[in-house]
């Protein structure tokens, strides 16, 4: 088990963000962040923290959880070496070297202290369900593989965001993961074989998107990117006088 009771040792620098007390006078800026191999500290190890940890692991983050008690799932993740777990209460200095802090406790003094340290360190911090102690918001996410749609009400009405997310999940069923993967593979082929500025490739991408591939995948058909390239992209490129390299 990656369990430690002493201060963590980190070598990665923290994110240098100029930070002031969050006023929420302005709308937040939507942004997706790659967290692979970046240090994230989760204060808390209960059910809410557990869900946050699992999501962070899905993004490739290096997670350290700090809490006096933990759920069985969190303990198992530590035993498997997937996270580090420090079994004690949060203390100032625990956020050193992290790019993001997620605070998931019902202890107001701890929440406020962790937020204050994060501000002091110019780093991102999200105190769950306490919008005024956040400089970043974790939205409600609809995921279909590489397709992600984020819904946020800036903390004003999380239940509304979840309701919209559920509607999106109905609108974009599971097969959309395969559809988006196919479009991505076709796009890579087009970029590799159609030289020149991006504007030349735009009508080819548009034709692929309008070719009814979504319905074919929905009906269970298996379609390869090479097939799409040969039957849709190449004929259209020829008609438009666009060079296709071998």
pLDDT digits 0-9 by tens, 44-80? 999 999 999 999 999 999 999 999 999 999 999 999 9
Mean pLDDT value across residues 7-35: 64
Mean of pLDDT over the chain:
92
- CA–CA distance from 25 to each of 22, 33, 125, 154 (Å)? 8, 23, 18, 11
Do 141 and 149 meet the contact criterion of CB atoms below 8 Å apart?
A: yes
| Percent of the chain topping pLDDT 70 | 90
- pLDDT at position 154: 83
Q: HSE (CB half, 13 Å, CA atoms) of 7? A: 11
- Confidence check: pLDDT of 196 > 90: yes
Q: For residue 11, name the pLDDT band (cuts at 50, 70, 90).
A: very low
Residue 227 to residue 170: CA distance in whole angstroms: 29
Residue 220 to residue 185: CA distance in whole angstroms: 18
- pLDDT at position 246: 83
- Confidence check: pLDDT of 23 > 60: no
**Topology (CATH level 3) of domain 1-16+30-138:** Rossmann fold (3.40.50)
pLDDT, greater one: 189 or 22: 189
- pLDDT at position 105: 98
- pLDDT at position 88: 98
- Confidence check: pLDDT of 181 > 60: yes
Residue 92 to residue 66: CA distance in whole angstroms: 12
- Confidence check: pLDDT of 6 > 80: no
Helix/strand/coil for 212: coil
Report the DSSP pairing between strands 100-103 and 84-86: unpaired
Written as six digits, the tokens of 244 are 């296709």
**Cross-strand pairs, 105:** none
- pLDDT at position 1: 57
- pLDDT at position 155: 79
Every domain of the chain and the residues it spans: 1-16+30-138, 139-172, 176-240
- pLDDT at position 53: 98
Written as six digits, the tokens of 116 are 């204050």
Mean pLDDT value across residues 120-135: 95
pLDDT digits 0-9 by tens, 88-120? 999 999 999 999 999 999 999 999 999 999 999
Q: For residue 190, name the pLDDT band (cuts at 50, 70, 90).
A: very high
With a CB cutoff of 8 Å and minimum separation 6, the contacts of 231 are none
- pLDDT at position 80: 98
Domain 139-172, classified CATH 3.30.2310, yes or no: no
DSSP per residue over 89-152, as a string?
---TTTTTT-SEEEE--S-HHHHHHHHHHHHHTT-EEEETT-GGGBSS---EEEEETTEEEEE-
107 CB-contact burial (10 Å; exposed 0-12 / middle 13-18 / buried 19+): middle
């Amino acid at each position: 088990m990656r369990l430690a009771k002493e201060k963590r040792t980190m070598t990665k620098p923290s994110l240098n963000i100029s930070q002031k007390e969050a006023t929420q006078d302005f709308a937040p800026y939507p942004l997706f962040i790659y967290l692979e191999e970046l240090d994230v500290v989760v204060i808390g190890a209960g059910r809410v923290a557990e869900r946050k940890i699992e999501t962070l692991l899905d993004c490739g983050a290096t997670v350290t959880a700090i809490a006096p008690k933990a759920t069985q799932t969190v303990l198992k993740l530590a035993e498997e070496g997937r996270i580090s777990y420090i079994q004690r209460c949060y203390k100032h200095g625990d956020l050193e070297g992290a790019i993001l802090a997620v605070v998931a406790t019902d202890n107001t003094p701890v929440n406020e202290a962790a937020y204050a340290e994060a501000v002091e360190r110019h780093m991102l911090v999200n105190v769950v369900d306490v919008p005024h102690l956040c400089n970043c918001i974790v939205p409600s996410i609809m995921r279909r593989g590489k397709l992600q749609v984020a819904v946020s009400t800036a903390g004003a009405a999380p239940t509304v965001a979840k309701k919209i997310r559920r509607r999106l999940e109905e609108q974009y069923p599971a097969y959309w993961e395969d559809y988006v993967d196919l479009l991505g593979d076709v796009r890579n082929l087009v970029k590799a074989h159609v030289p020149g500025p991006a504007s030349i490739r735009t009508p080819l991408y548009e034709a692929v998107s309008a070719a009814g591939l979504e319905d074919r995948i929905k009906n269970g058909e298996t379609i390869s990117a090479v097939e799409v390239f040969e039957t849709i992209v190449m004929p259209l490129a020829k008609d438009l006088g666009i060079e296709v390299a071998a």
